[in-house]
A = this chain, B = another copy of it.
């Protein structure tokens, strides 16, 4: 099935020449004028859909596919069934992304301001912004051109957003300065009070005022219900192009470089610094006050308690070089199957 047009706009039909150009692909001769209306998986695609082959394990589906065109790597072009156009690209998924965005363009700001939106004093809205019902934009906030502010979204006093930002349904942003093309998915919480307090001898926790901000670089995307606390004194910084999945937690004063990827339910504790293009997989955690070098990668569910050098993959808890962490994982599997373990005295948890 192609995309459900109740939920996704469809801009087609578009000629293959146009789609291929957007993807930087040369279409096979004679196919330039073929018209396409949508994208779909190999199984679901029909003659007017573009599909793509991500890896060789999908080859059987390719052979059965009725897709009108398939984006794939050169090595797999021979497996395309008759009648299907092979669109060869060095990165099929990237080319597919660009084609899909032409056929099903993301919603653009419609320039309307819902009458129920509460816009504070001194707010500056760039041209063409779309402001949804019950959005609240507090005094002094500044938004660039063509931003989308969803239903119930809340932008706190004096926050700054650049052009073409999307602050979606129920997102909250306070104490925040953001660049262009920033997306806050539903329920994201930007700029909440960090977890900072001092404890008296009697055990009373006294708040240390959290006096920093959150800085979001151009193109940052923040997942649903993800939380980025504001800095305590310095700022919390998310570098340009970084993407955070849902339910991620970023503590105060954390700094991410450019293009980092933080997968769902991962957490980074206060004052840790990540370089550029760091990847943190799902449910991983990184302790506070660490330095993670550029292009390092942290495996899923890992717990990082030491600095990680540039380019290193780490895995496990405590996180260690991935090769070592995988050895430990293999040893655990072996231990589980071993007779020696079976002979161990029972413990309460066994």
Cα distance A152–B155 when bound, in Å?
12
Determine the residue in chain B with the shortest Cβ distance to A97.
Answer: B208
Cα distance A328–B334 when bound, in Å?
9
Cα distance A318–B330 when bound, in Å?
8
Cα distance A208–B23 when bound, in Å?
12
Interface mask (A320-350 → B, CB under 8 Å = 1, otherwise 0): 1101111111111111110001101111111
Say yes or no for A174: interface residue by CB 8 A criterion. Answer: yes
Contact status of A249 and B251, CB under 8 A, knowing A152-B136, A193-B185: no
In the complex, which residues 19-68 of chain A have their Cβ closer than 8 Å to any Cβ of chain B? 39-41, 44
**Number of A residues contacting the other chain (C-beta, 8 Å)?**
127
Chain B residues positioned under 8 Å from A300 (CB to CB):
285, 287, 303
Copies in the complex: 3
A interface majority secondary structure: loop
Contact status of A258 and B350, CB under 8 A, knowing A134-B134, A267-B283: no
Contact status of A326 and B342, CB under 8 A, knowing A134-B134, A157-B7: no
Q: Is the pair B344, A318 in contact by a Cβ cutoff of 8 Å? A: no
Q: Is the pair A282, B283 in contact by a Cβ cutoff of 8 Å? A: no
Q: Is the pair B332, A318 in contact by a Cβ cutoff of 8 Å? A: yes
Interface mask (A214-252 → B, CB under 8 Å = 1, otherwise 0): 000001010111010110011000000101011101010
Say yes or no for A204: interface residue by CB 8 A criterion. Answer: yes
Say yes or no for A123: interface residue by CB 8 A criterion. Answer: no
Say yes or no for A175: interface residue by CB 8 A criterion. Answer: yes
Beyond A170-B172, A247-B249, 5 additional pairs, beta carbon < 8 A = A93-B198, A189-B225, A195-B246, A195-B264, A316-B332
Q: Which residues of A contact B (CB under 8 A)?
A: 3-4, 6-8, 39-41, 44, 91, 93-94, 96-98, 100-101, 104, 106, 114, 116, 118, 132-134, 136, 138, 140, 150-152, 154, 156-158, 168-170, 172, 174-175, 185-187, 189, 192-193, 195, 197-200, 203-209, 211-213, 219, 221, 223-225, 227, 229-230, 233-234, 241, 243, 245-247, 249, 251, 258-259, 261, 263-265, 267, 269, 276-277, 282-283, 285, 287, 300-301, 303, 305-306, 316-318, 320-321, 323-337, 341-342, 344-350
